[in-house]
Structure 1
């Protein structure tokens, strides 16, 4: 980006004049629309929009644009955000024994594919578990957990979220079920990768369940975390075709590849303000 640009996302009850009102304000504020996507959910009567814009002429700060847009938002009862695209969100990565998603996210972050600032890596396994992972200077926190220590462990985890200023928490195969309390505290800013194509084959050993059923497709699902286990609004999914020749170990191997790419896409969509909640679902404005 050669000049400052911003992204505006909004949702509200669909009524005439929304696009006109938004466009008129941006014109009056001296802004140029670089990209615009919109969706009218006819089932719920909700309207969703994502606009990428930049000021033409004199520079303007996001706060000033937001202050000017506020009356438009109030008129239509909008839930909305306006963010400078140059600002990188602070992201905390949580992992357990499996490291493929963690390593993939760190790699994509290092090459600039994921515009984020990794503020901490947290695991319930010791750092020595990740012998092939290059953490560099990243702060790595070991927070072991047992059923008896879970409340204290989650309290420490929540303090870490607050102390690091984490805006997004990514469960990169973090094999712990978050309590209702912690899930509620992280509502809207916590992403999980589930090693199954939800809503099927939930629980333990999903690939073995799939193998026993003779499935021809396996998949992975990334979703927002809620208090209902694996029931949060879905952000991204993908599948891989398999055959009767594949063993459970083959499914695990292929599943790792699906999980990596699904989680990476979901994280990027959130970082780029492409995901807007819509009840139990999401609207995802893909590029």
Structure 2
């Protein structure tokens, strides 16, 4: 593993408390995600519990897959001035009165606890640079902890954003050693990972050991145009729509739960280069939305699908 000379002085394991946000958010907003078998009284129980702690609900979204035998998904955003002080007691009450009583899976986070993300990339830069640009402008609700690449090509461009860049090549096809180095950099330092056109297959062992969600972006031609040159194949077939898909990574290649998708219309007059340019545009937008929604706790996974509250 080699770090860019421009960033070699930066620590390889940045502290979780070192955030780069220009305008920190007060520790008063919480987000509660709940998933459980649907039935009467759940929404009331959640609202009543939060009210007992003096919380003011500022946003509540819910979805039921069916009132009889279905599941309820709920995202509640609330304001509570002393959330850090009472959080441990609040979590205990949620588990006792929501988790146990309704068989619910739940998670609680604070808005000020900005998630830390690592971006993995190869040589294609459009998704990476878009995320870094949004982060610098304060438009990405997460902190970019590091960029990891199997090539050194983008080190100088990343340096301009003040983000550590780690070059971890795959030597002689030894992906296991490469993934061990990835885990050394990532473990305990990030809350999720984004594959911003990282052109290596991620192993099931890595996904298990990294212990955080991994988000991928790819063109929506899959599985129709698998392999090299998908835009040329699309041009040859006369496609009328091109698009992109952002999804969680699982051991099944490109078949994980989908977070966001979008398409743009194209025509016979568009060249292969036009398709590539327009495809890059939609990939940037789709990935930025997926990263934002994940960072804001707007996504609940349900098997191989997702519930996304936008």
User: Number of residues paired by the alignment?
Assistant: 284
Structure 2 residue runs without a partner (length 5+): 1-24
2:178 maps to what in 1?
153
1:28 maps to what in 2?
52
Q: TM-score, normalised by structure 2?
A: 0.85
Alignment of structure 1 residues 121-160 onto 2, 5 Å: 121-126=147-152, 128-146=153-171, 148-160=173-185
DSSP-derived class of the 1:98 partner = coil
Q: Tell me, yes or no, if structure 1 residue 47 matches structure 2 residue 87.
A: no
1:251 maps to what in 2?
275
Structure 1 residue runs without a partner (length 5+): none
Q: Tell me, yes or no, if structure 1 residue 285 matches structure 2 residue 278.
A: no
Asked whether the 8 Å contact 1:50–1:285 carries over to 2, the reply is yes
Structure 1 moving runs of 4+ over 6 Å: 56-59
Q: Tell me, yes or no, if structure 1 residue 239 matches structure 2 residue 256.
A: no
1:117 maps to what in 2?
143
Alignment of structure 1 residues 157-176 onto 2, 5 Å: 157-162=182-187, 165-176=189-200
Structure 1 residue 21: Cα displacement? 1.1
Structure 1 residue 63: Cα displacement? 3.0
1:206–1:116: structure 2 CA closer, same or farther, 3 Å change rule? same
Structure 1 residue 251: Cα displacement? 0.5
Q: For 1:210, which of 210, 220, 234 is the aligned residue?
A: 234
Q: Distance in 2 between matches of 1:10 and 1:41?
A: 14
Q: Distance in 2 between matches of 1:125 and 1:136?
A: 18
Q: For 1:273, which of 297, 304, 307 is the aligned residue?
A: 297
Q: TM-score, normalised by structure 1?
A: 0.92
Q: For 2:130, which of 97, 104, 107 is the aligned residue?
A: 104
User: Which stretch has the larger CA shift, 56-65 or 229-238?
Assistant: 56-65
Q: Tell me, yes or no, if structure 1 residue 8 matches structure 2 residue 38.
A: no
User: Which stretch has the larger CA shift, 89-98 or 193-202?
Assistant: 193-202
Q: Distance in 2 between matches of 1:210 and 1:159?
A: 39
1:147–1:74: structure 2 CA closer, same or farther, 3 Å change rule? farther
Q: For 1:68, which of 93, 96, 107 is the aligned residue?
A: 93
Q: RMSD between aligned alpha carbons? A: 2.1
Asked whether the 8 Å contact 1:99–1:130 carries over to 2, the reply is no
